[in-house]
Structure formats: structure tokens, C-alpha cells
Amino acid sequence: MKTNLLNITGVQVLSKENQRQILGQVLVEEPHDLSKCGCSCSGSVTGPAYCSLYIGCLQVYNCGETKV
């Protein structure tokens, strides 16, 4: 498998020292606009993907209910 990867253009083998120097993370645009986050009637988090990291919704159906 290693030989197959080396046949791809632009691929090179990194030394142990090169691997230690790599610092990585997901680039996320800051700050997050939490006003885009919300909850659906079924309790699912709505909005951009980061919303589920910051808010939680009750897992109950609560839309369209009438008082008895």
C-alpha cells in the first residue's frame, strides 16, 4: 500500500522529526453565530454543524400542541 501512495503526484514520506513538527486542527471561522442555531419540533438541533457543539434540545415533540 505504501508503494501505491508514493506513486501519487505530490506525496512524500515524512521523517519522524517532520511528523513531530506538524500541528493540525480543523479551521473554523470564529466567532460562531449562535443566533443561527435552534431546535426543531422533534428536538433536533438545527442550523450550521457547529450548533450541536454548543446547544442541546429536548427530545420531545412540542410543536402544534394545544392546551386541553
Give tens-digit pLDDT for 6-61. 677 877 788 899 888 888 766 666 788 899 999 988 889 999 988 998 999 987 76
pLDDT at 3: 64
Beta strands in the chain (DSSP E): 38-39, 45-46
9 falls within a domain: no
27 falls within a domain: no
48 falls within a domain: yes
4 falls within a domain: no
pTM: 0.47
Structural domain containing residue 41: 35-67
How would residue 1 be classed by pLDDT, with cut points 50, 70 and 90? low
Q: How many domains does the chain have?
A: 1
CA dihedral for 47, 48, 51, 56, sign (positive or negative): positive
Query: Following DSSP, what letter does each residue of 52-64 receive, concatenated?
Result: HHH----SS--SS
Name 39's bridge partners. 45
